[in-house]
Amino acid sequence: MALNRKMGIPSFDMTGKTVLITGGSQGIGFGIAAAFAAYGANVAITARTVSKVEDAANDLNENYCKGGRAIAIPADSSKPEDIQMVIDKTVEAFGEINIFINNAGISGKTAKILSDGCDAANFDKVIGTNLRGMFLFDQAVARQMVKQNETNGKKGGKIINIASVGGLIGGPGVVAYGASKAGALSLTRTFANEMARENITVNAVCPGYVVTSLNEDVFIDKETGGFTKVYELSAKNTAVRRLGTIEEVAGPVLAMASDCFNYMTGTYLLLDGGQTIGR
CA dist 226 and 229 (Å) reads 10
For residue 177, indicate whether it is catalytic.
Answer: yes
Residue of 177, 209, 231, 268 marked active site: 177
CA dist 7 and 48 (Å) reads 45
SS (H, E, C) the chain: CCCCCCCCCCCCCCCCCEEEEECCCCHHHHHHHHHHHHCCCEEEEEECCHHHHHHHHHHHHHHCCCCCCEEEEECCCCCHHHHHHHHHHHHHHHCCCCEEEECCCCCCCCCCCCCCCCCHHHHHHHHHHHHHHHHHHHHHHHHHHHHHHHHHCCCCEEEEEECCHHHCCCCCCCHHHHHHHHHHHHHHHHHHHHHHHHCEEEEEEEECCECCCCCHHHHECCCCCCECHHHHHHHCCCCCCCCECCHHHHHHHHHHCCHHHCCCCCCEEEECCCCCCCC
Pairing mode, strands 157-162 and 70-74: unpaired
For residue 155, the tally of other CB atoms under 10 A from its CB is 14
> Among 9, 21, 79, 1, which Cα is nearest to 258's?
9
User: Contact 100/90 with Cβ under 8 angstroms?
Assistant: no
Q: Tell me which residues are annotated as active site.
A: 177
